[in-house]
């Protein structure tokens, strides 16, 4: 009904006043008649207001509003319609929430919602089987108290979730779970946890296979190397036609041995997340001996190798592993820098952590190769590698050693001018004596 309530009310008021005046004319008491008439109208309005108030207070779903007259009836109906509309919208929203909750509850992956401080807000059923969360006791608890692995704590506190994290489940050591955290809304966290035990087992089988094959191949190779050496020691007795072939066999045998050593080292590095020994390493002395070896490797190629190292700056970690990594970088610089070129090795610290850089004036590497350089057997130019005798595993070893020492490798290079390989270590890993 779209009436003009303004004029209706005005007419009604005029009617009441007119009636009162008529009554006043008949009785002679104008003022009393007006007071009584208007008072009655006010009382009626107040009664309607009271009915509306009582209905609103006792409002139950589906209970229709009381009957009202005129404008009051219209007000009652409008409020009722608004309430019904609101109820229907809420019902629809609840149905959507129920469906989302049902579907996430049915997921095999755990879905956990955390507030900005990492306290649990909501989780699905899989979170209970994968991480052992308990409903409702754990609600509001900090996730770091429930997943107590030190690496998880560090990962969560660091807040850099670009890479996922893989760990044993806190519930069962045989389960491997994969954590992926995304920030949403008001800095809250959505955490997805997946069971990757099967993939982890396959990966483990692959690593074990490589480690076993490398190990098994070592003995036959050592035997062959031994016989080749004996034969070449008595080179005068060997038929001259075979001499060159034997020398090449010895060369290839040595290459296979370095390849096996590198494969075994990689397998060892992959077997655990942290180095077994975590001692302070005097990187300056280590670099001094590596640069001396590099100078020997350079021989009459006459590279200019310089070293600037902060002698008070030490690094926590395994000296053997760090020696492998750093010597790979320095020896690569010798291998891939033309004769008389210069190589600069630096070791320093600033507020971002400790850094080691190996800069050469070699032929450089095209930008398209840089992201793939640390892949196993990745080579920029296979013909170049054949002449340098590299295994193609050096930078993969560097990457793994750095990962275990909370470090990362940065490579910058300009073709024709040279390359710089920089190892950045997290603050705290390097420290001053
Ligand atoms: P390799 O045993 O072949 O040296 P690495 O893993 O150590 O294997 O290096 C991978 C590839 O990266 C090398 O084959 C080479 O092409 C390139 N490379 C590594 N270091 C340098 C460098 N200092 N200058 C130019 N190229 C380099």
pLDDT tens digits along 327-364? 999 999 999 999 999 999 999 999 999 999 999 999 89
Contacting residues for 327 by C-beta, under 8 A, at least 6 apart: 290, 293, 294
Ligand 1 within 6 A of CB of 394 = yes
Query: 108-195 belongs to which CATH class?
Result: alpha beta
Q: What is the pLDDT, as a whole number, of residue 93?
A: 95
Give the lowest-confidence range in 30-44, 252-266, 270-284: 270-284
> Given a cut of 70, is residue 397 above it in pLDDT?
yes
DSSP assignment of 7-72:
HHHHHHHHHHHHHHHHHHHHHS-HHHHHHHHHHHHHHHHHHHHHHHHHHHHT--TTPPPPP--HHH
**Token pair listed for 288:** 């001094």
Which ligand 1 atom is at minimum distance from the Cα of 395? 6
Grade residue 256 by pLDDT with cuts at 50, 70 and 90.
Answer: very high
Q: How far separated are the first and last CA of the chain, in Å rounded?
A: 88
Segments of the chain assigned to CATH 1.10.287? 202-271
**Per-residue pLDDT at 275 exceeds 80:** no
CATH class assigned to 202-271: mainly alpha
Give the mean model confidence (pLDDT) for residues 71-78. Answer: 87
In this prediction, residues 115-127 reach a mean pLDDT of 92
Distance CA 28, CA 370 (A): 109
CATH of the domain spanning 279-432, picked from 3.50.30.10, 3.30.465.10, 3.40.640.10, 3.30.565.10:
3.30.565.10
pLDDT for position 339: 94
pLDDT at 3 over 70: no
Domain with CATH 3.30.565.10 in the chain: 279-432
Cis peptide before 334 (omega within 30 of 0): no
With cut-offs at 50, 70 and 90, classify the pLDDT of residue 154. confident
Does the pLDDT at position 399 exceed 90? yes
287 has a pLDDT exceeding 60: yes
Task: Give pLDDT, residue 361.
Answer: 96
CA geometry: angle 219, 222, 224, nearest 5 deg: 110
332 within ligand 1 shell (Cβ under 6 A)? yes
Q: What is the pLDDT of residues 32-51, one digit of tens each?
A: 999 999 999 899 999 989 98
Q: How high is the pLDDT of residue 358? A: 98
Query: What distance in angstroms lies between residue 373's CA and the mean position of ligand 1's atoms?
Result: 7
pLDDT more than 90, % of the chain? 63
370 lines ligand 1 (CB under 6 A): no
380 ligand 1 Cβ < 6 A: yes
| Mean predicted confidence (pLDDT) in 250-259 | 92
Q: Model's pTM, two decimal places?
A: 0.69
Backbone angles phi, psi at 315, to 5 degrees: -130, 135
Tokens for 77?
A: 């109906």
Average pLDDT over residues 45-62: 83
Q: What pLDDT shows up at residue 380?
A: 86
Quote the CA–CA distance of 359 and 344 in Å, as a whole number. 5
Q: Which amino acid residue places its CA nearest to atom 14 of ligand 1?
A: 379
Residue 197 pLDDT > 90: yes
What mean pLDDT is predicted for residues 188-212?
A: 93
Q: How far is the CA of 421 from the centre of ligand 1 (A)?
A: 11
Tell me the mean pLDDT in the region 149-155. Answer: 89
Q: Where in the chain is the domain with CATH 3.30.450.20?
A: 108-195
What is the arithmetic mean of pLDDT over 385-412? 87
Report the pLDDT value the prediction gives residue 253, as an integer from 0 to 100: 92
| Rounded distance from Cα 393 to ligand 1 centre (Å) | 9
pLDDT over 80 (residue 25): yes
Read off the pLDDT of each residue in 254-273 and give the average, rounded to a whole number: 90
Q: Which of 379, 398, 423 to mutate to test the pocket of ligand 1 (most atoms within 8 A of CB)?
A: 379
Question: Could you tell me if the CB of 336 is within 6 A of ligand 1?
Answer: yes
What integer pLDDT is reported at residue 74 of this predicted model? Answer: 86
Percentage of the chain modeled with pLDDT above 70: 97
How far apart are the CA of 277 and the centre of ligand 1, in A? 28
pLDDT higher than threshold 80 for residue 384: no
Q: Given pLDDT bands bounded at 50, 70 and 90, which one contains residue 383? A: low
**Ligand 1 touching residue 48 (CB < 6 A):** no
35 vs 236, which has greater pLDDT?
Answer: 35
Q: What is the pLDDT of residue 5?
A: 81
Q: Please compute the mean of the pLDDT values over residues 83-105 and round it to a whole number.
A: 91
pLDDT at res. 390: 78
């Amino acid at each position: 009904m779209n009436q003009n309530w303004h004029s209706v009310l005005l007419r009604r008021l005029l009617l009441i006043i007119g009636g009162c005046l008529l009554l006043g004319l008949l009785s002679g008491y104008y003022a009393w008649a007006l007071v009584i008439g208007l008072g009655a109208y006010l009382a009626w309005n107040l009664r309607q207001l009271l009915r509306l108030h009582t209905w609103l207070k006792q409002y139950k779903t589906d209970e229709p509003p009381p009957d009202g007259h005129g404008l009051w009836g219209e007000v009652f109906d409008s409020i009722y319609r608004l309430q019904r509309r609101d109820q229907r919208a809420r019902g629809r929203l609840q149905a959507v929430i129920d469906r989302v909750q049902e579907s996430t509850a049915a997921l095999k992956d755990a879905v956990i919602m955390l507030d900005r401080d990492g306290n649990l807000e909501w989780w699905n059923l899989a979170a209970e089987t994968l991480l052992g969360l308990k409903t409702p006791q754990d609600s509001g608890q900090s996730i770091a108290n429930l997943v107590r692995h030190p690496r998880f704590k560090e990962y969560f506190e660091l807040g850099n979730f670009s890479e996922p994290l893989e760990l044993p489940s806190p519930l069962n050591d045989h389960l491997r779970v994969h954590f992926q955290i995304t920030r949403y809304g008001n800095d809250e966290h959505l955490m997805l946890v997946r069971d990757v035990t099967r993939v982890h087992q396959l990966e483990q089988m692959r690593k074990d296979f490589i480690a076993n094959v490398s190990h098994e191949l070592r003995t036959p190779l050592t035997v062959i190397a031994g016989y080749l050496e004996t034969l070449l020691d008595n080179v005068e007795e060997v038929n001259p036609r075979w001499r060159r072939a034997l020398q090449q066999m010895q060369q290839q045998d040595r290459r296979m041995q370095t390849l096996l050593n590198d494969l075994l080292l990689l397998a060892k590095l992959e077997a655990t997340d942290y180095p077994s020994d975590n001692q302070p390493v005097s990187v300056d002395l280590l670099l001094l001996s590596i640069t001396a070896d590099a100078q020997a490797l350079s021989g009459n190629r006459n590279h200019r190798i310089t070293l600037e190292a902060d002698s008070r700056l030490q690094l926590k970690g395994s000296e053997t592993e760090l020696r492998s990594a750093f010597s790979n970088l320095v020896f690569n610089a010798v291998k891939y820098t033309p004769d008389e070129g210069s190589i600069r090795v630096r070791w320093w610290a600033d507020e971002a952590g400790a850094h080691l850089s190996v800069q050469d004036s070699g032929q450089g590497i095209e930008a398209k190769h840089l992201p793939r350089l640390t892949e196993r057997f990745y080579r920029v130019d296979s013909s170049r590698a054949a002449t340098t005798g590299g295994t193609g595993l050096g930078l993969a070893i560097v990457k793994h050693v750095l990962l275990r020492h909370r470090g990362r490798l940065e490579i910058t290079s300009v073709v024709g001018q040279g390359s710089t390989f920089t190892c950045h270590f997290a603050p705290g890993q390097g420290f001053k004596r």
